[in-house]
């Protein structure tokens, strides 16, 4: 009999008594002491062999082995204990979670700057981005470029105790020099200016509010709020400068509705925007738009606006309508009024709302017509005559790459407008095609005679779409942008000549 320390099993090697010859069918059984206990050094007691093991004899190998037998009761007890422990753990987790929810707790990070706590946050990456922007802002305003050490300590806190950006900003600003406790005025949550005395801000606001009359109904359109807080020294205003700041304008996104057919160049000039910016805000918009088209723009709007209202009763004009009659026999551009038209009269009772003194809406309660209006009738000619109007439009959409004047020690008799090959070129005014073909350094060229002393040139075209003698209309596509002739890249060379003397084209199209 041998005990294997590695496997923990008891084995028997049987001699002659356990040896059986094939010709003899004799079987003898040997009993093992029923209370025999097996131990392994350094291990716990295995248990009763008869209850936990069974002995198996292998005839081929002539070896006897002991096979452990599972104890169902012990297994059941083990399963019961595991279930109880698992349930207890789940209940404990539920209690902890319930405590967090009922007490409105959350896991956060306490932010330390130079070892001083400035507040608790839940999103570290978001705070890093905000603090980086705030640090740059304070550096510009205060000239403090010191890099401060930021560290984070885990903490459990109430959700209500997690600080917002405003609180964090105030706590952070307290660490810098060049800040002062003052009173700030906010319009729709945006900082406008600050003053040392609250009464100075309140007085300025009241002056603006009552400046449009009808004091009883005057209110600010924006939500106005005054806060006592830390601000940088350079944001403090005094006396009349407070009013000046409150009455200033700011840039804001808005919508412009085209009042007529307009080019993108014209709209960009109206709002002081670059073509690239206008194009970015209006992807897919064409180089020109029709009346009524809505375009996203950057407008200059007042920081503060005052709304007033009034009840109005009295006689008002009824604007006469305008009718247009087109005459094919009359030259295009010609028109005459056949009926002068006359305004009507009506008695109206209405409530009117004003913004900064300008009427924006009205609610009519009663209206009685006293006199009907008479419509104005205008006859407009549509016959193409080839005579220009004298007003030029921009011939293509692109960027100005070369101006009129001396260039490379020689006179540049027009302007160059850089654009992609194939971009439309339109007639700058009504006219007749004087030339359409190849002409030396101009490459493919179109000349339009406008019948009033003016001639326009359109050079370096990739494709010509009109023929000599053809009458064209202002805005009609006559060619495509190219790089033919003496050219360094795709662009339109545009000239304006008066009695064959070159003029600066920008004098004619800069405002259009």
Percent of the chain with pLDDT over 70: 83
Q: What is the 3-state secondary structure (H, E, C) of 156-175?
A: EEEHHHCCCHHHHHHHHHCC
SS3 content of the chain, % helix, strand, coil (to 5): 20, 45, 35
Task: For 402-415, write each residue's pLDDT tens digit.
Answer: 889 887 778 889 99
Q: How far is CA 199 from CA 186, 188, 195, in A?
A: 15, 20, 9
The CATH architecture that domain 306-383 belongs to is Single Sheet (2.20)
Whether the predicted pLDDT of 48 surpasses 50 = no
How confident is the model over 307-358, as pLDDT tens digits? 999 999 999 999 999 999 998 878 776 789 999 999 999 999 999 999 998 8
Domain ranges of the chain: 2-69, 73-103, 106-177, 183-248, 252-302, 306-383, 399-509
What CA–CA distance (Å, rounded) separates 91 from 70? 32
> Please, are residues 228 and 181 in contact by the beta-carbon 8 Å criterion?
yes
- Name which residue leads in pLDDT, 426 or 39: 426
In the predicted structure, residue 435 carries a pLDDT above the cut 90:
yes
- Fold agreement between 252-302 and 399-509: no
Residue 335 β-bridge partners: 380
pLDDT at 434 over 90: yes
Per-residue model confidence as pLDDT tens digits over 55-91: 676 777 767 676 666 666 667 777 877 888 888 888 7
Which stretches within 226-299 are classed as H helix? 240-246, 264-270, 275-281
Architecture of domain 399-509: Distorted Sandwich (2.70)
Confidence band, pLDDT 50/70/90 cuts, at residue 3: low
H or E segment to which residue 184 belongs: strand 179-187
Those residues with Cβ within 8 angstroms of residue 275's Cβ, 6 or more apart along the chain or in another chain: 264, 265, 268, 399
Contacts (Cβ under 8 Å, ≥6 apart) of 180: 196, 230, 231, 232, 233, 236
- Under 8 Å between Cβ of 328 and 382: yes
Distance CA 178, CA 194 (A): 14
Considering the segment(s) 252-302 as one domain, its CATH architecture is: Roll (3.10)
Secondary structure (DSSP) of 296-307: EEEEEEESS-EE
Residue 137 φ/ψ, nearest 5 degrees: -65, -45
């Amino acid at each position: 009999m041998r005990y294997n320390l590695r496997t923990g099993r008891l084995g028997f090697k049987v001699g002659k008594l356990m040896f059986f010859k094939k010709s003899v069918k004799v079987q003898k059984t040997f009993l093992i002491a029923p209370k025999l206990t097996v131990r392994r050094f350094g291990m716990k007691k295995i248990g009763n062999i008869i209850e936990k093991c069974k002995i198996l004899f292998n005839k081929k190998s002539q070896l006897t082995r002991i096979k452990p037998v599972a104890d169902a009761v012990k297994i059941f007890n083990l399963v019961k204990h595991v279930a109880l422990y698992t349930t207890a753990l789940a209940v404990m987790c539920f209690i902890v979670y319930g405590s967090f929810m009922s007490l409105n707790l959350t896991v956060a990070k306490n932010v330390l700057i130079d070892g001083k706590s400035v507040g608790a946050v839940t999103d570290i990456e978001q705070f890093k981005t905000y603090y980086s922007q705030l640090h740059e802002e304070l550096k510009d305003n205060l000239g403090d470029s010191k890099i401060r050490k930021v560290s984070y300590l885990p903490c459990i806190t109430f959700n209500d105790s997690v600080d917002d950006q405003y609180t964090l900003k105030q706590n952070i600003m307290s660490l810098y020099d060049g800040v002062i406790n003052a009173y700030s005025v906010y319009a729709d949550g945006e900082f406008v200016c600050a003053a040392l005395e609250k009464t100075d801000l309140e007085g300025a606001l009241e002056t603006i509010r009552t400046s449009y009359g009808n004091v009883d109904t005057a209110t600010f359109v924006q939500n106005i709020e005054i806060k006592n807080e830390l601000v940088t020294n350079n944001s403090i205003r005094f006396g009349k400068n407070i009013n000046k700041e409150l009455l200033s304008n700011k840039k804001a996104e808005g919508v412009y509705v085209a009042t007529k057919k307009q080019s993108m160049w014209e709209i960009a000039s109206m709002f002081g925007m670059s073509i690239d910016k206008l194009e970015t805000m209006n992807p897919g918009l064409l180089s020109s738009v029709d009346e009524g088209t809505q375009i996203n723009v950057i407008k200059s709007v007042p920081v503060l606006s005052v709304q007033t209202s009034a009840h109005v009763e009295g006689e008002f004009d009824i604007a006469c309508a305008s009718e247009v009659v087109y005459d094919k026999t009359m030259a295009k551009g010609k028109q005459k009024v056949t009926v002068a038209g006359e305004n009507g009269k009506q008695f109206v009772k209405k409530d009117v709302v004003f913004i900064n003194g300008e009427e924006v809406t009205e609610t009519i309660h009663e209206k009685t017509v006293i006199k009907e209006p008479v419509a104005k009738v205008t006859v407009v000619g549509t016959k193409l005559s080839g005579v220009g109007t004298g007003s030029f439009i921009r011939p293509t959409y692109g960027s100005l790459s070369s101006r009129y004047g001396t260039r490379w020690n020689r006179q540049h008799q027009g302007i160059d407008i850089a654009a992609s090959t194939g971009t439309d070129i339109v007639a700058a005014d009504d006219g007749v095609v004087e030339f359409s073909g190849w002409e030396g350094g101009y490459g493919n060229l179109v000349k339009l005679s406008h019948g009033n002393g003016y001639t326009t040139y359109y050079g370096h075209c990739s494709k010509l779409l009109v023929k000599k003698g053809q009458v064209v209309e202002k805005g009609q596509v006559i060619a495509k942008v190219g790089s033919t002739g003496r050219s360094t890249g795709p662009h339109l060379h545009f000239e304006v000549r008066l009695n064959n003397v070159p003029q600066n084209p920008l004098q004619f199209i800069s405002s259009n």
